[in-house]
Amino acid sequence: MEDRVEKIVNEYNQNLLDIDRFVFGTTLSYVFFQDKYKELSKEYEGGKEMELFKDLNSKIPDYESEVFVLAIINLIARAEVFLNDILEILFIWQKKALISDKTISYKEVLESENIEELVEAIRAKEILKFSHSSFKDKLKYLKVKFKLHFPSIEEHMIAIVEIFTTRNIILHNNGLINETYLNINKNSNFVLGSKRPVNKDYVHNTYIYLTILGRSVEKKVKEKIIEANTLEPLVAKNKPETDESELNKNNLTT
């Protein structure tokens, strides 16, 4: 099970790194173009190519802003998929965590080929609900269900929550600060209705915070699994054996 966790973490880290490198490479290519723009102006003066170069040069600030915004959306998306994948592994490892007072329909039961398929359907429901919850609620869920605590994440909680809420206003409010953002980020200096700036440094800091998130989750989940695997044989070893005489008594009929 630890191997599966490590595989998911490695894929997650690589995805984050690819996005961070994409932003670096793209913005660097814009710098190279702007540096060569004067030379291109002389070489292609009066030509059709120069019109394209002029248009590109004038739009580079807009293109850069769009790259930064898309990077934030993708970084958070990768983090959410990562947490969903971790939750799925935890449910597979500890099936009893799915036990709750929630009910399922006759239809769901009858459409399932077997109990494993039914469990899989219940697991998928829980993961879907988890995926729609806020970042803080995700951590709370993992704490309640699996007794997982993440000190490293809690240390940077304010910054990480702010990043998630920035992604939300980018997607749902054109990047403008709304009341939901201000209610969640109590210490924010932004004004209602103002644009939340997203620059190269903000993107890179997001990459760093989400890397910390991944490392913290990996560490604590692995510790929890190893701890459980260590305790399980000890519990079985110390379990009292059934007394044969008691067994005979229980089997007597009147």
* 64, pLDDT greater than 50: yes
Q: Which tens digits make up the pLDDT trace of 202-249?
A: 999 999 999 999 999 999 999 999 888 775 554 444 555 544 444 444
* 156, pLDDT greater than 70: yes
Q: Which residue, chain included where needed, has tokens 């003066």?
A: 45
Residues 206/163, Cβ–Cβ less than 8 Å: yes
Residue 37 — pLDDT band, cuts 50, 70, 90?
A: confident
Residue 114 — pLDDT band, cuts 50, 70, 90?
A: confident
Helix or strand or coil: residue 52?
helix
Q: What pLDDT, on a 0 to 100 scale, did the predictor assign at position 52? A: 85
Q: Give the separation between CA 224 and CA 2, rounded to whole angstroms.
A: 10
* Burial class of residue 211, CB neighbours in 10 A (0-12, 13-18, 19+): middle
Q: Which tens digits make up the pLDDT trace of 6-36?
A: 999 999 999 999 999 999 999 999 999 888 8
> Across the chain, what does the average pLDDT equal?
89
Q: What pLDDT, on a 0 to 100 scale, did the predictor assign at position 248? A: 46
Residue 115 — pLDDT band, cuts 50, 70, 90?
A: confident
Q: Which tens digits make up the pLDDT trace of 159-212?
A: 999 999 999 999 999 999 999 999 999 999 999 999 999 999 999 999 999 999
Q: Give the separation between CA 60 and CA 64, rounded to whole angstroms.
A: 6
Q: Which amino acid, 230?
A: T
Number of Cβ within a 10 Å radius of residue 55? 9
